Amino acid sequence: MLRALGFGAATVVVAGAGALSYRVFDTAVLDPGGGDAYAPWRSWRDTPGPLGAVAAAVLAASPHNTQPWIFGVGADAIDVYVDRTRTTGTVDPFGREQYVGLGCAVENLVLGCRARGLAPSVAWVPDGADGDRVAHVALTAGPAVASPRYDAIGERHTNRGPYDGRPVPDDLLASLVDDDLPSGIAVRWITEAGARAALGGLLVDAATALTADEQQSTDGFVWFRGNNDEIQRYRDGLVLDGQGLGPLTLGAAKLLPASSRTAGDQFWVEQTRTVHTATAAAYGVITAAHPDERRTQLDAGRLLQRIHLAATVQGVALQHMNQVTERIDREAATGAVPTFAPRFAALVPDGGAPLLTFRVGYPVRAGRPTPRRDVAEVTR
Ligand X SMILES: Cc1cc2nc3c(=O)[nH]c(=O)nc-3n(C[C@H](O)[C@H](O)[C@H](O)COP(=O)(O)O)c2cc1C
Task: Tell which positions 226-255 bind ligand X, by CB under 6 A.
Answer: 238, 242
**Which residue in the set 27, 65, 216, 312 belongs to the binding site for ligand X (CB under 6 A)?**
65
State the minimum distance, in angstroms, from the CB of residue 250 to ligand X: 15
Q: Is the dihedral of CA 311, 312, 314, 315 positive or negative?
A: positive
**Which residue in the set 14, 27, 54, 62 belongs to the binding site for ligand X (CB under 6 A)?**
62
- Number of neighbouring beta carbons within 10 Å of residue 116: 22
**Which residue in the set 323, 330, 341, 359 belongs to the binding site for ligand X (CB under 6 A)?**
323
Residue whose CB is less far from ligand X, 90 or 323: 323
The DSSP-derived string for 245-271 is --HHHHHHHHHSPPPPHHHHHHHHHHH
Task: Tell which positions 158-177 bind ligand X, by CB under 6 A.
Answer: 158, 160
316 near ligand X, rule: CB under 6 A: no
Segment interacting with ligand X (CB under 6 A) among 48-56, 107-115, 286-294, 318-326: 318-326
**Pairing state between β 118-124 and 133-141:** antiparallel
Residue whose CB is less far from ligand X, 118 or 134: 134
State the minimum distance, in angstroms, from the CB of residue 159 to ligand X: 8
Task: Tell which positions 360-379 bind ligand X, by CB under 6 A.
Answer: 367, 370
State the minimum distance, in angstroms, from the CB of residue 33 to ligand X: 12
State the minimum distance, in angstroms, from the CB of residue 158 to ligand X: 4
The residue type found at 194 is G
Task: Tell which positions 30-49 bind ligand X, by CB under 6 A.
Answer: none
Question: Mutual orientation of helices 323-334 and 193-212 as an angle, nearest 10°?
Answer: 50
* Rounded distance between C-alpha atoms, residue 239 and residue 231, angstroms: 8
Segment interacting with ligand X (CB under 6 A) among 16-24, 69-77, 183-191, 316-324: 316-324
Residue whose CB is less far from ligand X, 28 or 61: 61
Instruction: Please give the size of the binding site for ligand X, defined by CB under 6 A.
Output: 21
285 near ligand X, rule: CB under 6 A: no
State the minimum distance, in angstroms, from the CB of residue 104 to ligand X: 5
State the minimum distance, in angstroms, from the CB of residue 75 to ligand X: 29
The closest of 35, 67, 54 to 376, measured between CA atoms, is 54
Segment interacting with ligand X (CB under 6 A) among 24-32, 48-56, 63-71, 135-143: 63-71
The DSSP-derived string for 275-286 is IITTT-SEEEEE
**Which residue in the set 32, 40, 63, 226 belongs to the binding site for ligand X (CB under 6 A)?**
63
Cα angle 318-222-220, degrees, rounded to a multiple of 5: 45
Closest residue to ligand X in the complex (CB): 61
**Quick check: 287 and 353 in contact, CB under 8 A?**
yes
Q: How far is CA 334 from CA 71, 93, 328, in A?
A: 33, 10, 10
The b/e string for 188-216 (b: 16+ C-beta within 10 A; e otherwise) is bbbbeeebbeebbebbbbbbbbbbebeeb
Segment interacting with ligand X (CB under 6 A) among 17-25, 155-163, 181-189, 246-254: 155-163
Residue whose CB is less far from ligand X, 14 or 324: 324
100 near ligand X, rule: CB under 6 A: yes
The residue type found at 369 is P
359 near ligand X, rule: CB under 6 A: no
Q: Number of C-alpha atoms within 13 angstroms, CB side, residue 97?
A: 28
Q: How far is CA 256 from CA 20, 233, 246, 269, in A?
A: 8, 21, 15, 20
The DSSP-derived string for 169-230 is PHHHHHHTS-SSPPTTEEEEEE-SHHHHHHHHHHHHHHHHHHHHSHHHHHHHHTTB--SHHH
State the minimum distance, in angstroms, from the CB of residue 171 to ligand X: 26
Q: How many residues does the chain have?
A: 380
Residue 124, H or E segment: strand 118-124
* Rounded distance between C-alpha atoms, residue 322 and residue 338, angstroms: 16
**Which residue in the set 23, 157, 302, 359 belongs to the binding site for ligand X (CB under 6 A)?**
157
**Which residue in the set 97, 230, 241, 299 belongs to the binding site for ligand X (CB under 6 A)?**
97
320 near ligand X, rule: CB under 6 A: yes
In the complex, the residues that contact ligand X under the rule CB under 6 A are 61-65, 97, 100-101, 104, 157-158, 160, 238, 242, 319-323, 367, 370
